[in-house]
């Protein structure tokens, strides 16, 4: 990130969000997703002793927050987890940074107390887990949770003896039948200017934008890739749960879900393709069956992952995660033209640098 870039990186204390410094970063890349952790990478060029002292004081992995601003708006936020100092043969120093979005914090937080929910909305289960995280000494990093509900209630018991990570619990809950999507977004309050880490929940999906974004090639689409992957496809599925016997001296077998076979798929000419999944902490048959049905439905067809690269023109930003896109592509593969509707589930920003325009790579899924 040069002095001419529209981006700034704010370095803050993770728990208090107190601004510590603003340092120039080079070679920056950042991304954010629905359903997985986003990342930021960049380098601080250590060209003076004063800059070295500032970097040592402010860039502390594990307790430093990074916010990326573009034109006054917050485009990315997360936690600095790794730094790597390197010196070349001429003695030039560079500090490489790797950070991850706020949800990565939940990969480092565990349940040390059992939690139970009976007939509780699945969004409230997530909020209760985040409240537990924040209530522990040093555990509040300022994630705001909201009050919306999904209308789907769950019965869940999470045992402290399983030492579960909170991120794993939320992911498993979201991926059951009639599940939801979640992420922790970053933005600035338009009234107060305060930086906000916001839990975003969507049932059944996270959506954004009132109208479809139209992208064409030839046109604003600079390049694209269209991967179709059948290696995980299955039309026969079974999931495995926890052991049915707590007595370690006796023979035991795991809880097994119903065996799901899509006979219509096989009759239509597809070969039989088997698949399975493991849920080693699930002890209830109904819960395991719901996981199996959701997994079977997700794996029935080859995984298609379109990625398109566009120049940023004002209509694309990380705030558009969940927005619908209407693609229109005409080329040798689709000589008569292809028109399809997709949803943005990932965005990777490459800020402008010398000889490189500002672009966004969008990861899409069927809308």
Residue 78 included in any domain: yes
Residues 123 and 25 placed together within one structural domain of the fold? no
**Contact call for residues 283 and 242 (beta carbons, < 8 A):** yes
Virtual torsion, Cα 314, 316, 320, 323, nearest 10 deg: 110
Residues 217 and 360 placed together within one structural domain of the fold? yes
Q: Range of 158's domain?
A: 109-202
Residues 21 and 120 placed together within one structural domain of the fold? no
Residue 219 included in any domain: yes
**Contact call for residues 64 and 102 (beta carbons, < 8 A):** no
Residues 73 and 51 placed together within one structural domain of the fold? yes
pLDDT tens for 66-75 read: 999 998 899 9
Residue 317 included in any domain: yes
Residue 1 included in any domain: no
Q: Which CATH number belongs to the domain containing residue 187 in this structure?
A: 3.55.50
Last residue in a domain, options 87, 102, 117: 102
**Contact call for residues 358 and 348 (beta carbons, < 8 A):** no
Q: SS3 of 291, please?
A: helix
The two three-digit tokens of residue 237, written as one number = 């599925």
Q: How far apart are CA 130 and CA 146, in angstroms?
A: 11
pTM, two decimals, is 0.93
Q: Which CATH number belongs to the domain containing residue 14 in this structure?
A: 2.30.300.10
Residues 221 and 340 placed together within one structural domain of the fold? yes
Residue 29 included in any domain: yes
Q: How far apart are CA 68 and CA 77, in angstroms?
A: 6
pLDDT tens for 34-85 read: 999 999 999 999 999 999 999 999 999 999 999 999 988 999 999 999 999 9
**Contact call for residues 200 and 103 (beta carbons, < 8 A):** no
Residues 338 and 222 placed together within one structural domain of the fold? yes
Last residue in a domain, options 274, 298, 322: 298
The per-residue pLDDT of the chain, averaged, comes to 94
Residues 83 and 20 placed together within one structural domain of the fold? yes
Contacts of 22 (CB under 8 A, 6+ apart): 8, 9, 10, 11
Residues 310 and 215 placed together within one structural domain of the fold? yes
Residue 319 included in any domain: yes
Last residue in a domain, options 298, 318, 340: 298
pLDDT number for residue 313: 79
Residue 2 included in any domain: no
Residues 178 and 285 placed together within one structural domain of the fold? no
The two three-digit tokens of residue 225, written as one number = 């890739």
pLDDT tens for 146-195 read: 999 999 999 999 999 999 999 999 999 999 999 999 999 999 998 999 99
The label of the residue with tokens 């040592």 reads: 56
Per-residue pLDDT of the chain (367 residues; tens, 9 = 90+): 544 567 889 999 999 999 999 998 898 999 999 999 999 999 999 999 999 999 999 999 999 999 999 988 999 999 999 999 999 999 999 999 999 999 999 999 999 999 999 999 999 999 999 999 999 999 999 999 999 999 999 999 999 999 999 999 999 999 999 999 999 999 999 899 999 999 999 999 999 988 999 999 999 999 999 999 999 999 999 999 998 766 665 677 899 999 999 999 999 999 999 999 999 999 999 999 999 999 999 999 999 999 999 988 778 999 999 999 999 999 999 999 999 999 999 999 988 877 778 899 999 999 8
Residues 174 and 242 placed together within one structural domain of the fold? no
The two three-digit tokens of residue 308, written as one number = 């398109």
Q: How far apart are CA 170 and CA 159, in angstroms?
A: 14
Residue 164 included in any domain: yes
Residues 28 and 47 placed together within one structural domain of the fold? yes
Closest to 154 in 3D by CA, of 131, 128, 130, 136 = 128
Residues 336 and 271 placed together within one structural domain of the fold? no
Domain count, the chain: 4
For 342, other C-beta atoms within 10 Å of its C-beta total 22
């Amino acid at each position: 990130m040069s002095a001419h870039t529209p981006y700034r990186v704010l370095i803050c204390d993770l728990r208090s969000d107190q601004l510590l410094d603003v340092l120039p970063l080079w070679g920056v890349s950042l991304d954010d997703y629905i359903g997985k952790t986003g990342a930021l990478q960049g380098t601080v060029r250590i060209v003076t002793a004063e800059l070295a002292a500032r970097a040592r004081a402010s860039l502390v992995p594990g307790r430093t927050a990074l916010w990326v601003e573009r034109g006054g708006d917050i485009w990315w936020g997360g936690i600095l987890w790794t730094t790597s100092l390197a010196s070349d043969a001429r003695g030039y120093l560079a500090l490489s940074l790797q950070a991850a979005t706020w949800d990565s914090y939940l990969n480092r937080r565990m349940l040390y107390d059992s939690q139970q929910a009976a007939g509780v909305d699945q969004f409230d289960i997530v909020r209760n887990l985040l409240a537990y995280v924040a209530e522990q000494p040093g555990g509040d990093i300022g994630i705001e949770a909201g009050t919306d509900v999904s209308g789907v209630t769950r019965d869940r018991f999470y045992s402290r003896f399983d030492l579960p990570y909170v991120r794993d619990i939320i992911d498993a809950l979201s991926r059951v039948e009639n599940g939801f999507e979640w992420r922790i977004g970053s933005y600035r309050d338009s009234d107060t200017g305060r930086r906000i880490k916001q839990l975003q929940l969507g049932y059944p999906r996270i959506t954004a934008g009132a109208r479809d974004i139209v992208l064409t090639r030839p046109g604003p689409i600079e390049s694209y890739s269209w991967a179709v992957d059948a290696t995980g496809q299955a039309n026969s599925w079974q999931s495995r749960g926890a052991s049915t016997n707590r007595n370690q001296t006796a023979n035991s077998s795991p809880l097994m879900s119903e065996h799901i076979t899509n006979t219509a798929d096989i009759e239509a000419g597809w070969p039989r393709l088997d698949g399975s999944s493991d849920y080693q902490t699930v002890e209830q048959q109904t819960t395991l069956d719901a996981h199996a049905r959701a997994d079977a439905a997700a794996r029935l067809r080859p995984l298609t992952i379109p990625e398109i690269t566009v120049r940023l023109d004002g209509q694309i930003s990380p705030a558009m995660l969940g927005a619908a896109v209407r693609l229109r592509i005409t080329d040798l593969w689709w000589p008569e033209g292809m028109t399809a509707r997709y949803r943005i589930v990932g965005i990777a920003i490459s800020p402008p640098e010398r000889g490189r325009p500002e672009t966004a790579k969008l990861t899409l899924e069927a809308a």
